[in-house]
Amino acid sequence: MDIHEYQAKELFRSAGIPVPPGEVARTPAEARRIAEELGGRVVVKAQVHIGGRGKAGGVRLASSATEAESHASDILGMDIRGLTVGKVLVTRAEDIASEAYVAVLIDRRRQSPVFIVSPEGGVDIEEVAAERPEAILRLPVDPRYGLLPHQAFRLADFLYAEAGHARQAARIMDRLYRVFTSNSCSLAEINPLIVTVAGQVRAIDAKVSLDDSGMKRLPELEALRDTSSEPASETRARQAGLSFVKLDGDVGCCVNGAGLAMATMDLVKYYGGRPANFLDIGGSSNPDKVVAALEIIASDPHVKVILFNIFGGITRCDDVAKGIVEARSRTAIAPPIVIRLSGTNEAEAIEILGEAGLAAYSSMDQVVERAVRMAGSA
């Protein structure tokens, strides 16, 4: 789950990372009031879950409250790569002497957090990585010990020649690592970390992604979710208790069990198709979940066929069959449905589906090949 810059800065602030003061506004008048309170120059920043807002015109400096109000009225409602801006952060403008890059993320191969820092911040870090890899330092952290003091100084030294700046930066590294671990983050990024003309090191941008799997442990973070910034289908799936990830293919997949769901998607690719989603209805056999799943998948206009792959263990095939029949009676499901059921109460399931005019297969290969063919000819 991604959170907004203003929320990430709140986490930074409470961890003691210096960030310029500011507040979020939903209207130009509110932006004006905040700018008046801050006094002096301010920056008006689009709050959307995407980077590169500056280049898209979503970050603007204002030298007066009137100018801040007019920038806010331009930015609010703006479309930044498919996302509509509903909020702006109005924050004190800093006089920048230099911009660096700092991030903590998970290195999956090492199975540990890793710091990535570069003195060449502000820009696209991927560009720096491609053109000047020597300008980037990667430093893995052993999660058992956390970020050790000498590591924090090594990172800080890589960014700054001046000891005073490095000392401030080392403290920020330490606190950023704490933000990362205590909020179950998959990413905590500062781009840019600046040195002001007066020699202060500060975070003027903040990007934080929270690992959804850690959210159960940290229910208070749920309050940071902005459902207006995620696909509506993902919101619905979460409310229905389904594991769902929207993808951009045309074969809708409804599967029980994450492993089988992954295998099903692999097989769709193997037969030359493209899955429209990952969806795990879970181990239980609750017809309501099946109804929700079917409606969520069918609401994607790209879906040309819906593929069910159910291996009945604890999940009862007849319950899934009932769910499919019920969903079709509740709402018009336009795409054709192909079904493979195997296991607990398979015979009953086939009967229920048969009465509703639906056929079921027991071979996974057969059903996936058929679904891909149908999507291709639809």
Measured between alpha carbons, how far is 119 from 161 in angstroms, rounded to an integer? 10
User: How many chain residues interact with Mn ion (CB under 5 A)?
Assistant: 2
In the bound state with Mn ion, the residue whose beta carbon lies nearer, of 2 and 205, is 205
Asked if residues 343 and 313 have their Cβ atoms less than 8 Å apart, the reply is: yes
Asked if residues 203 and 190 have their Cβ atoms less than 8 Å apart, the reply is: yes
Residue type, 205: D
- For 162, the 3-state DSSP assignment is coil
Q: How many whole angstroms from its chain centre is CA 281?
A: 21
Task: Kindly report the backbone phi and psi dihedral angles of residue 236, in degrees, each rounded to the nearest multiple of 5, phi listed first.
Answer: -60, -45
Determine, following the binding rule CB under 6 A, whether residue 376 of this chain makes contact with ligand GDP: no
Q: Which stretch binds ligand GDP (CB under 6 A): 27-35, 47-55, 210-218, 282-290?
A: 47-55
160 is catalytic: no
- Give min distance, CB of 166 to ligand GDP, in A: 21
Site for Mn ion in 189-228 (CB under 5 A): 191, 205
Q: Which stretch binds ligand GDP (CB under 6 A): 43-51, 139-147, 250-258, 356-364?
A: 43-51
| Six-digit token string for 132 | 């000047």
Binding ligand GDP (rule: CB under 6 A), the pick from 10, 27, 33, 96 is 96
- For 173, the 3-state DSSP assignment is helix
101 is catalytic: yes
Q: Which stretch binds ligand GDP (CB under 6 A): 89-97, 208-216, 238-246, 331-339?
A: 89-97
Determine, following the binding rule CB under 6 A, whether residue 51 of this chain makes contact with ligand GDP: yes
- Axis-axis angle for helices 163-182, 5-15 (nearest 10): 110
Helix (H) or strand (E) holding 29: helix 28-38
- Axis-axis angle for helices 317-330, 346-355 (nearest 10): 20
The listed partner (ligand GDP, Mn ion, none) that binds 368, CB under 5 to 8 Å by sort, is none
Name the residue whose CB lies closest to ligand GDP: 54
Binding site for Mn ion (CB under 5 A): 191, 205
Active-site positions? 101, 189
Binding site for ligand GDP (CB under 6 A): 43, 45, 51-54, 59, 93-94, 96, 99, 122, 191-192, 204-205
